[in-house]
Amino acid sequence: MTGTILIENARIIDPASGLDHRGAVLIEDGRIADISKGGPVGVPEGAEVIDAAGHILSPGLIDMRVFTGEPGKEYRETLATAGKAAAAGGVTSFVMMPDTTPTVDDSALVDFLIRRAKATSLVNVLPAAAITRGLNGSELTEVGLLKEAGAVCLSDGRHSIQSTAMLRTAFSYAANYDMTIVHHLADHGLIGDGVMNEGLFATILGLKGIPAEAETIPLARDLQLALLTGVRYHAAQISTAHSVELIAAAKKRSKRISAGISINNLALNENDIGRYRTFFKLSTPLRSEDERQAVIEGLRNGTIDTIHSDHDPQDTEVKRQPFAEASDGAIGLETLLAAALRLVHSGDVDLRTVLKAMTSRPAEILGLESGRLQNGAPADLILFDPEYPWQVTANQILSRSRNTSFEGARLAGKVMRTIVGGKTVYTHIEETTL
């Protein structure tokens, strides 16, 4: 059990209820006990009192797409190091993708990861179980047993199921168990040897391109199957204007369809690749500035539901390669909030919309009780200064890997304190974690 904490003098923002006012929050036994406007209504005896100094107090972020190295490749990332990075970035819960060794396709492994995370991670780790065994796209996993073990959704992680018949079967089984399917969109035939967005810039660099249709064609297929089967469907990450159009049209026919986007595709574009910078080699690839503006509009109007980090630790050996040979992926837990605040500071998207996409909306999609500020809800909270200036440097990164797509970036917005289950797991004191 945790003690009593009173956070006062805070700007309280709760996207779920629309709350936005100065006030105080009382935490007791790991849950929110009271939210008051203005000053606190008394201070319980023995309570720890935290002066928020006018900073924003919001629900902790819920990141729907995080890869770890554990089990199997702990040299890239462990649950412990991912937890430290998440806490520093204001992420109080993250969905762990099943791309591990062994693959998370067995109920015993789901149970092990939940227990392992409780023992080693500072934040909540929510395992996603594989749709197909070994992520091979051909044999379904035991959906009922995986759900019973504690899996929050089904996903093949970086992998995209190519067989339409297999997907229909998977969607039907998932619908029977009311499990959300989170599916990566990639047509292998169209991607081929492509390594970045298809277009003039790829031609200039002499690199093979990946057309937008490699995303939109499987998305169109998935949406038709989702409507057919009634499954809870979440497009893992979209990046193009036409994808936004397809999602918007499907949402008019079903409330069980949602879509996510990587912060990389919101904050960066293909030009950031510059002179073959491999930390910007991602899947899905960075698109053109026109496409980036289109997905920003999709976030603004509610077509895109969630923003995630797509945290994907890769070691030096596989990233310090010629661009075409380097592995995809970048870390992002520690920079998720600050990078998302770029959209707010630029005037592209308002603060409440950005926070909603990383708090209450992921919670709704996954059926979590967190992601909101209300009496009785879990005390998973963050206190952050949206104007705090800082620069991303390798020596400050808490993740075990260093492959950040925001290397050297100057950002505005820093987490001052992260609270998980009523316990402070991170405070900003000279970039030091507790």
Contact between residue 330 and residue 312 where contact means Cβ atoms under 8 Å apart: yes
Count of positions (residues) in the chain = 434
CA distances from 431 to 134, 157, 173, 352, 380 (A): 39, 32, 46, 27, 21
Specify whether the CB–CB gap between 168 and 228 falls below 8 A.
yes
* 156 noted as active-site residue: no
Contact 254, 226 (CB under 8 A): yes
* Catalytic, out of 99, 310, 312, 380: 310
Q: Which of 129, 88, 93, 64 is nearest to 261 (CA)?
A: 64
Complete DSSP assignment for 347-378: TSS-HHHHHHTTTHHHHHHHT-S-SS--TTSB
Gap between the Cα atoms of 367 and 361, Å rounded: 10
- For 15-69, strand residue ranges (E) read 19-28, 31-37, 48-51, 56-59, 61-66
In terms of phi and psi (left: phi > 0; alpha: psi -120 to 50; beta: otherwise), the region of 422 is left
The secondary structure of residue 400, as a DSSP letter, is: S
Cα–chain center distance at 70: 18
Q: Among all residues, which ones are annotated catalytic?
A: 310
